[in-house]
C-alpha cells in the first residue's frame, strides 16, 4: 500500500470521526465551559500522542525553531481553531457550526494561492469549492433563519475566526520540510494548543453552574480525546503531508453530512429531500476539486518535462 492510498484512508477516517465531533462538542459545552473543556481535551490528547510518538520513533527535533513552529501551528489550529468552534457551539447549533466550518477549504485554497507560487485556481477547483458550500447550505437550510438572532452573532463570528485560523495553520503545517517525527510535532501542536486554551479559559469562560463530574460530559470528553484528537488529528496531519491542501481539507464538506446522519440515528433528527440533494452536491464537489488538482499537477509535470527536453544539459545527472 503506497503513501497516497494510506493518505486517502486517513482522509476517510477524518471525515467520519470529525463528522461526529460536532455532536460530542455540543454535549460537552452543555456541562462545561468551552475553553476549559477544549483545553483539557487537547492537552491530554497531546500528551498521549507525544508519548506514543516517542515510543514508536525515538527521533525528535526539540530545537527552539521547531518547538516555536509547533506552538504557532497549535495556536492557530487548536487554540483559535478548535477553541473558537467549541466556544461557538455554546451559542449556535452544531449544524450552523458545521456549515461555517465547511468554508475552510475555500480559505485554505485562498491562503495557499498567496503563499505558494506553484498553486493556482482553475475552473474545476473554483466551481467545486463553491458547489460544496452550496451543498452544505442545503443540509442546514432550515437553520439559516436563526442567524438573524443577536445571540447567534458572537458564536457565528467565533466559528468563522476558527475556520480561517485552522486553514492558515494547515497551510503553515503543510510547509514543514521533512519533519524528523511528524507525529511528535502533531502531539506538540495539540499540547501547546490546549495549554493556551487553559490559559485563556479564566478570561473567556463563565464558571457559573460548573459541575466537575457529569456522566454525559465526561463521556463526550473521553471520546473527543481518543478519537477526535489523538487518532483523527494524527491521521489529518499524515494525509495533509501527502495530499494537496484542497483535497486534504475536503473533509470539511463531508463532516456536516456525517453530522446529519449521526443526528438522525442518535437524536432522531429529521432527514428530508434536502439532505439527499446536499449529498449529491457534495459528492460532485469532491470530484471536481480532486479533478482540478489532478489536472493542475498534470499540467505542471508536462511543463517540467518540456523544459527538461528543451534544456537537458541544464539539469543534474541524477534528476
- The pLDDT of residue 98: 80
Q: Of 1, 182, 170, 25, whose CA–CA distance to 96 is shortest?
A: 25
Predicted TM-score (pTM) of the model is 0.80
Residue 287 lies in a domain: no
Domain count, the chain: 1
pLDDT in tens, 274-300: 777 877 887 788 778 767 766 766 665
Specify whether the CB–CB gap between 104 and 249 falls below 8 A: yes
Specify whether the CB–CB gap between 224 and 107 falls below 8 A: no
State the residue for C-alpha cell 483545553. 39
Distance CA 94, CA 86 (A): 9
Residue 280 lies in a domain: no
Q: Say whether pLDDT at 310 is over 60.
A: no
Structural domain including 223 reads: 3-120+143-203+214-244
Lowest mean pLDDT among 113-122, 182-191, 195-204: 113-122
φ and ψ of 118, to 5 deg: -90, -15
- The pLDDT of residue 302: 56
- The pLDDT of residue 277: 82
Specify whether the CB–CB gap between 74 and 191 falls below 8 A: yes
Residue 220 lies in a domain: yes
pLDDT in tens, 224-261: 999 999 999 888 888 888 888 778 877 877 887 788 78
Specify whether the CB–CB gap between 208 and 57 falls below 8 A: no
- The pLDDT of residue 234: 84
Amino acid at each position: 500500500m503506497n503513501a497516497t492510498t494510506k493518505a486517502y484512508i486517513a482522509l476517510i477516517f477524518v471525515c467520519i470521526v470529525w463528522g461526529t465531533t460536532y455532536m460530542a462538542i455540543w454535549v460537552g459545552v452543555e456541562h462545561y465551559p468551552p475553553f476549559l473543556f477544549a483545553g483539557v481535551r487537547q492537552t491530554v490528547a497531546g500528551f498521549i500522542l507525544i508519548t506514543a510518538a516517542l515510543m514508536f520513533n525515538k527521533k525528535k527535533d526539540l530545537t527552539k525553531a521547531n518547538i516555536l513552529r509547533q506552538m504557532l501551528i497549535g495556536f492557530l489550529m487548536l487554540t483559535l481553531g478548535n477553541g473558537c468552534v467549541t466556544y461557538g457551539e455554546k451559542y449556535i447549533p452544531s449544524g450552523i457550526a458545521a456549515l461555517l466550518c465547511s468554508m475552510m477549504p475555500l480559505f485554505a485554497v485562498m491562503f495557499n494561492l498567496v503563499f505558494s507560487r506553484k498553486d493556482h485556481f482553475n475552473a474545476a477547483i473554483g466551481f467545486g469549492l463553491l458547489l460544496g458550500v452550496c451543498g452544505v447550505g442545503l443540509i442546514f437550510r432550515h437553520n439559516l433563519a436563526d442567524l438573524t438572532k443577536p445571540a447567534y452573532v458572537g458564536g457565528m463570528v467565533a466559528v468563522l475566526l476558527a475556520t480561517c485560523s485552522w486553514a492558515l495553520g494547515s497551510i503553515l503545517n503543510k510547509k514543514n520540510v521533512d519533519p524528523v517525527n511528524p507525529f511528535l510535532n502533531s502531539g506538540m501542536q495539540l499540547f501547546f494548543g490546549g495549554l493556551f486554551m487553559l490559559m485563556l479559559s479564566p478570561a473567556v469562560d463563565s464558571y457559573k453552574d460548573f459541575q466537575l463530574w457529569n456522566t454525559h460530559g465526561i463521556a463526550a470528553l473521553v471520546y473527543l480525546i481518543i478519537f477526535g484528537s489523538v487518532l483523527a488529528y494524527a491521521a489529518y496531519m499524515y494525509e495533509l503531508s501527502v495530499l494537496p491542501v484542497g483535497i486534504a481539507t475536503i473533509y470539511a464538506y463531508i463532516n456536516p453530512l456525517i453530522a446529519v446522519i449521526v443526528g438522525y440515528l442518535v437524536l432522531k433528527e429529521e432527514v428530508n429531500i434536502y439532505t439527499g440533494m446536499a449529498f449529491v452536491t457534495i459528492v460532485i464537489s469532491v470530484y471536481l476539486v480532486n479533478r482540478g488538482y489532478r489536472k493542475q499537477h498534470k499540467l505542471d509535470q508536462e511543463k517540467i518535462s518540456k523544459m527538461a527536453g528543451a534544456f537537458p544539459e541544464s539539469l543534474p545527472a541524477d534528476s
